[in-house]
Amino acid sequence: MLGETKKSKGLLSESDASLAQKFRDAGFGFGPSSEFLLHPLEAAYLAQLGKTSFEKGNIAQFITAQKKKDKLFPFAFVAYAAIRGTGRMVRPYAEGLKYLRAYAPGVGREKDRPSQLVCLLPGKVPSAKSISEEIRVAHLARLDLILACGTEAEMKFYKVSSFNF
C-alpha cells in the first residue's frame, strides 16, 4: 500500500518491504532500503498497472489530488506511462514536472546508460523560437531533447537532436 511520507513531503512510500524491493529492482523509486520513496508519477503508474494501491482512495482520486498541486500532473502522467511502456526507464526531476529523464531500454540502473531529456509542453507544437530555453537546458546537460506535446488523449513526441561542431 502506498502512503505519503512524513519526512519527505510530496513523496510516497510502499509499506510492503518485499514489494518495495521489487519496485527498486525494476528501476522505480530511490532512497536507502530502510526508506524506499516513490515520486507521485511512479506511484500512479504502478497503481495503474495494478502492482500496488493507495492507502487512501484510488488512482483517479490520486490524480485529481495531484492536479490540485500541479496542473501539469495528468499530462506528465500520460507521458510518463507512454515512455515507460516502451521499456525505457523514466526518472522525474524533483524540482517540478516539466522535465523527465528517459533512459535507454535494457537491464540495469541509470548509470552508464544513454539518456534523453523529455520536456512536457501541453498544447500545440511549439515553434523553434519558443523552445530556445529547453534547447539550452538540453545542450548544457549534453542530452538529446524530446518534446512531448498535444493533449492527454493525443500525445505527440518530437526529438531535437544535438549537434556538436
Q: Which amino acid is at 74?
A: P
Average pLDDT, the chain: 88
Domain 71-160 grouped into CATH 3.40.50.150: no
The pTM is what?
Answer: 0.90
% of the chain beyond a pLDDT of 70: 93
**Burial level of 63, CB count in 10 A (0-12/13-18/19+)?**
middle
Task: Sort 160 into a burial class: Cβ within 10 Å, 0-12 / 13-18 / 19+.
Answer: middle
Residues of the chain with CATH 3.40.1350.150: 71-160
Strands (E), the chain: 2-4, 12-14, 37-38, 89-92, 99-103, 115-122, 144-150, 155-160
Q: Are the C-beta atoms of 112 and 135 separated by less than 8 Å?
A: no
With a cut of 90, say whether residue 142 has pLDDT above it. Answer: no
State the number of CA atoms in the 13 A half-sphere of 155 facing the CB.
20
The domain 2-68 belongs to what CATH superfamily? tRNA intron endonuclease, N-terminal domain (3.40.1170.20)
Higher pLDDT, 33 or 86: 86
Given a cut of 80, is residue 164 above it in pLDDT? Answer: no
Residue ranges, CATH 3.40.1170.20, the chain? 2-68
Residue with cell 529523464: 101
